[in-house]
Amino acid sequence: MNHPLPDELLLFASGELTEPRMNDVASHVQTCGPCRDMLAQLDQSLVALGGTWPPPRRSRSLARPAVWGGVALAAAAALAVVLARPSRESPRAGWAPTTTWSRTAGYVAGGTALLDIDAQLTRLEQEPHYARP
Amino acid sequence: MLGSRVLLGNMPTPAPAITAEHLLAEHTAALRNYLGARCRDHELTAELMQEVAARLVLATPRLRLNGNARGYLFRIAASVWHDHLRREMVRRRSAMLVQANQPALAPAADARLLERELKDAVRRAIGALPVAQREVVELRQQRDLTFQQIADRLGRPLGTVLTQMRSALSRISAELESYR
């Protein structure tokens, strides 16, 4: 594949390139150093720009149901796990660390750590760019 | 978590509802390819995918996607990647200051200070942009519009808007030399 056009790289960096070019460019930049460098430079500027302005204001009446919905879903999931836990085992018998370090979230859950998922969702909601495409 | 619905708005008939997991399932391979190309790390790709899913699930109750669910998904993915880069940028900058034996601050205060420094540099660069470029940047950042929407709003060809945005980014990049 030829090198993508600079405009295509900008669209790619912003997640706005359409198929099939999105896939083509994704494959290309994995192996092309110069294109990767250009992309890295675009990314750096976009990142800096994104941190400068707060995200567009959303009305509280729209945002709050989403927050409470997330809390309710996490609570429901935690309840499901509590109900599904085998009752014969000692509470401490199967204990194991439930979180591992993650470069994106600080920690990730390993399948059963629903409280950790709750904490992670709470953290994500506090990000200035949360849910902003 | 998995029952959140995405409503496709502005349709003549009652909008069919699709779930977040359908959206993700339909585009998982392409999303993984996209994020994999960005970070070139399997483990990190998986973590970024997880974060995209989490944001999508919590965002879906208030979405009106006008049929472009895929586009929305990839814009979330780009945003997740950029947030990751932002944290890395601050972390690297912090490590550089420590190496340079500058007085250490508490980590959180240090990060806030660096973020403020970065924002000031970007604002200076934006303030110095030609009006046409600044319009594009402001619509992009303040209104959260896609480049096509900006082109429509300003009555300019998409290619012109992209060129103006790239020029603006180059100037910002020059202003950020010290952050590399």
Asked if A15 lies within 8 A of B163 by C-beta distance, the reply is no
B155–chain A nearest CA distance, Å? 18
pLDDT digits (tens, 9 = 90+) for B54-78: 998 887 665 555 567 888 899 999 9
Query: Does position B153 have pLDDT exceeding 90, yes or no?
Result: yes
pLDDT tier at A98, thresholds 50, 70, 90: low
Which pLDDT score, from 0 to 100, does residue B8 have?
A: 46
Q: Which whole number is the average pLDDT over B41-51?
A: 95
Whether pTM exceeds 0.90: no
pLDDT tier at B144, thresholds 50, 70, 90: confident
DSSP code of B12?
A: S
pLDDT digits (tens, 9 = 90+) for A29-69: 999 999 999 999 999 889 888 877 755 654 444 444 555 55
A72-81, B101-110, B126-135 — which one is most confidently predicted on average?
B126-135
Asked if A10 lies within 8 A of B165 by C-beta distance, the reply is yes
Reading the block at residue A29, the tokens are: 């930049």
Query: Does position B146 have pLDDT exceeding 70, yes or no?
Result: yes
Rounded to whole angstroms, the Cα distance separating B38 from A13 reads 9
Of A110-119, B67-76, B112-121, B162-171, the least confident: A110-119
Q: Which whole number is the average pLDDT over B30-35?
A: 94
Q: Which whole number is the average pLDDT over A69-74?
A: 62
Between the CA of residue B160 and those of A29, A69, B106, B140, B163, what are the distances in Å? 24, 41, 45, 14, 5
- The pLDDT mean for chain A works out to 69
Q: Which whole number is the average pLDDT over B26-49?
A: 94
pLDDT tier at A19, thresholds 50, 70, 90: confident
Between the CA of residue A17 and those of A44, B74, B75, B99, what are the distances in Å? 19, 9, 10, 40
Which pLDDT score, from 0 to 100, does residue A58 have?
A: 47
Name the more confident of B132 and B14: B132
pLDDT tier at A104, thresholds 50, 70, 90: low
Taking CB atoms and an 8 Å cutoff, what residues of chain A touch B172? 45, 48-49
Reading the block at residue A14, the tokens are: 């912003």
Residue percentage of chain A with pLDDT more than 90: 29
pLDDT tier at A113, thresholds 50, 70, 90: very low
Asked if A26 lies within 8 A of B34 by C-beta distance, the reply is yes
Helices (H), A1-133: 6-13, 21-31, 33-50, 60-84, 114-126
Name the more confident of A104 and B79: B79
Q: Which of A56, A105, A131 lies closest to B59 in CB terms?
A: A131
**Interface residue B71 vs chain A (CB under 8 A):** yes
B154–chain A nearest CA distance, Å? 18
Which pLDDT score, from 0 to 100, does residue A50 have?
A: 83
Taking CB atoms and an 8 Å cutoff, what residues of chain B touch A14? 75, 78, 146-147
Which pLDDT score, from 0 to 100, does residue B74 have?
A: 93
Within 113-172 of B, beta carbons closer than 8 Å to A belong to 115, 118-119, 121-123, 126, 137, 140-144, 146-148, 159, 162-163, 165-166, 169-170, 172
Which pLDDT score, from 0 to 100, does residue B180 have?
A: 52
Helices (H), chain B: 20-39, 42-59, 69-99, 107-127, 131-142, 147-154, 158-175
Rounded to whole angstroms, the Cα distance separating B65 from B56 reads 12
Write the CB contacts of B115 (distance below 8 Å, at least 6 apart in sequence). A51, B90
Asked if A77 lies within 8 A of B1 by C-beta distance, the reply is yes
Which pLDDT score, from 0 to 100, does residue B24 have?
A: 87
CA-closest candidate to residue B115, choices B39, B176, B26, B34: B176
Name the more confident of B178 and B125: B125
Which pLDDT score, from 0 to 100, does residue B91 have?
A: 81
Asked if A103 lies within 8 A of B84 by C-beta distance, the reply is yes
